[in-house]
Amino acid sequence: MGDPVLSFTDRGIYCPAGDFYIDPWRPVDRALITHGHADHARAGHGAYLATHAAGPVMRHRLGAITLDGIDFGEVRQIGGAEVSFHPAGHIPGSAQIRVAVGGEVWVVSGDYKVRPDGLSEPFEPVPCHTFISECTFGLPVFKWADQRDVAAEINDWWTTNAAAGLTTILGAYSLGKAQRLLSLVDSGIGPILTHGAVEGTNGVLRAQGLTLPDTTQVTAETRIKDHPGALVIAPPAALGSAWARKLGPASTGFASGWMRLRGVRRRRAADRGFVMSDHADWDELHQAIRATGAENIYVTHGYTDIFARWLNDRGWNAKVLPTEFGGDEDEAEAAA
């Protein structure tokens, strides 16, 4: 076998045959981007390539960038590499990136989940020789319930709060998780308000055809007494902030896979925690890896050492790939 299809540098995952990077964390000339979360789609690159579905939110977040779009499944030749993007199921527009050079196929999964959420393009297994997989939740304790059951818990909590005269504030990342929750809650319980970061993203996705319930952005002029029994969707960093305190007496919650761990809800200053993630759980990670047929697995951002050891014990050739990817996205958006 010749040189690897992808190599690992201090700027990110690099394809020598095509002279491009995938989700680089430092400025490069050409970047292929799996999805629009801030740890994967960063500012400063010369040119970007992403799915047509991911493009609008990237422009919304990054401003005036040189961005080319590609359809899911479309094959494009970049130098000596054949490239295509395939649904990752993480958030709307998210992709795995397949790179083939001289008959050798590698797939960079980005972030993914296997179970459909009703909003994102469903995960598509891509056969390959080498698979680069996240393992954010790569421990057996992380197993997700049916999202309809979680939605029922949230609706019951919101109903109870409304009856007690409390505003319900639910922390959720502004791209992906917030829209998923909006699609699941019962809008008949009361009005739905949003933080500006959430509403800005809602507008971009609605313009692409995503159907969401009616929402009202919280502004300096908003009087919460005009919205009795409201549910407010805000980024996690807004919980406990001056912005949230302006909403008066409230019960706060947080929706995340991390709610599976004891103690996390307390650190998030939340009254309630709801276990819901846009990442694969323990079982989904195994399902996805098996479906690729890959013998070589690189694991990144998560419980990498433990997960790689588990894979090696079961016959895969697994290695840890250090990266600068984070959990979901930059929370600094919730400053005001």
The pLDDT tens digits for 73-94 are 999 999 999 999 999 999 999 9
Whole-number mean pLDDT of the chain?
Answer: 93
Note the pLDDT tens digit of each residue in 114-131: 999 999 999 999 999 999
Q: Which amino acid is at 109?
A: S
Q: Does the CA dihedral 277-309-40-285 come out positive or negative?
A: negative
> In whole angstroms, what is the distance from residue 74 CA to residue 46 CA?
22
Same domain, 13 and 129: yes
Residues 224, 77, single domain; the answer is: no
Q: Is residue 2 part of a domain?
A: no
> Token match 């600094």: residue?
332
What CATH code is carried by the domain that includes residue 151?
3.40.50.10710
1 within a domain of the structure (yes/no): no
pLDDT tens digits along 199-210:
999 999 999 999
Q: Would you give the end-to-end CA distance of the chain in angstroms?
A: 53
The verdict on residue 218 lying in a domain is: yes
Give the residue from 252, 274, 296 where a domain finishes. 274
CA neighbor of 172 nearest in space, from 336, 58, 324, 333: 333
Whether residue 181 is found in the same domain as residue 292: no
- Tens digit of pLDDT for each residue in 277-288? 999 999 999 999
Residues 302 and 185 occupy one common structural domain:
no
- Name the domain boundary from 242, 274, 306: 274
Does the pTM surpass 0.85? The reply is: yes
**Would strands 216-217 and 192-194 be described as parallel, antiparallel, or unpaired?**
parallel
Same domain, 296 and 179: no
User: Are both 108 and 208 inside the same structural domain?
Assistant: no
Q: Which domain holds residue 257?
A: 147-274
- Total tally of structural domains belonging to the chain: 2
Q: Each residue of 286-331: pLDDT tens digit? A: 999 999 999 999 999 999 999 999 999 999 999 999 888 875 543 4
Task: Say if residue 47 is exposed, middle or buried (CB neighbours under 10 Å; 0-12, 13-18, 19+).
Answer: middle
| 292 and 174 within one domain | no
Q: Are residues 21 and 88 in the same domain?
A: yes
Higher pLDDT: 321 or 267? It is 321
Residue with tokens 């990054």: 62
Residue closest to 95 by CA, chosen among 153, 40, 146: 40
pLDDT grade, residue 3 (50/70/90)? confident
